[in-house]
Amino acid sequence: MNGMTAVLLATVCAVVYGTADFFGGLATKRSRVLAVVMLTQITGLVFVLPLLPLLPGTLNAGALAWGMAAGLAGGLAVILFYRALAGGVMSVVAPTTATMSAALPVLFGLAVGERPEPLALGGVVLALAAVVLVSRASGGGGGRPALAPILQSLASGLGFGAFFILLKQVPEDSGMWPLFGARLASVVVVAVLALSIRATVVPGRGALPTIIAAGVLDMLANVLYLLAVQRGLLVLVAVLVSLYPASTLLLARYVLGERLNAVQAAGVGLALGAVALIASA
């Protein structure tokens, strides 16, 4: 039962992460990257506070330490990710990031001895293939994507992968305290960076509602991920969560008019098949 619950939570988490990234990408078109990152992180911190008593857990040094380590990795990853979104195409940046954020936890999980059932492992392979396919550039852009956003996407994917791995290490009775520690650490990192380069954290005109939506959805997705990874294998949960670009792609397609090519569409189909395989194992 725990395995099925983990699959369900991870799948919903992927949808929420993808929607959060869509709103974050919109915000970076109207505001400076550090302003978007700072305000989304603060929004997430405010959002998690009332969850501490609602989803109670034991406050201990291990929970905060692992959470803060995850927050440092995640905070730097978010900065790189939003910079990539600001300078690149959303339907390329999000899946490229996901490729790395999926591969790192899968390799780590297998290295530490996690062994999914053969059918579930087949779903993992299918999911990784799906992430690669949806990472293909859309056909309507003309020319190759800029190199800098792709490199930033890959680096941010490593950071998000580390975030997933580090949150897996927290004690299971910690409740939401690890996410409090994670978000507190990321707020401090972004604030120090903004002060050091004297960057403004004032949002562009009309961007604040979009930024708040991105921050709330991102923290909600973090909550779903933590609940999922406490109930299932890292190899399975992380790869399902990393299918989030499918929802980003669909939103970019129907809201922004970004074109989805046949390969990307096939990737979305493979993603659905991967979820079905893992869920049936």
Separation of first and last alpha carbons in the chain: 12
| pLDDT for residue 93 | 75
CA angle 25, 9, 101 (to 5 degrees): 50
Residue 1: predicted pLDDT: 62
pLDDT tens-digit map of 125-139: 877 787 677 656 544
Instruction: Return the SS3 of 117.
Output: coil
Low-confidence winner among 62-76, 139-153, 164-178, 192-206 (lowest mean pLDDT): 139-153
Could you report the per-residue pLDDT of 123-174, keeping only the tens digit for each? 778 777 876 776 565 444 445 556 778 788 889 989 999 999 999 999 888 9
pLDDT for the residue 140 = 46
Higher pLDDT, 216 or 135: 216
CA distances for 200 relative to 50, 88, 111, 189, 212, angstroms: 29, 22, 43, 15, 17
pLDDT of residue 47: 95
pLDDT at res. 91? 64
Report how far residue 59's alpha carbon sits from residue 177's, in angstroms, rounded to the nearest whole number.
6
pLDDT given for residue 167 in this prediction: 94
Alpha-helical segments (H) within 29-60? 33-48, 51-54
Q: What amino acid occupies position 40?
A: T
Domain ranges within the chain, ordered by starting residue: 2-280
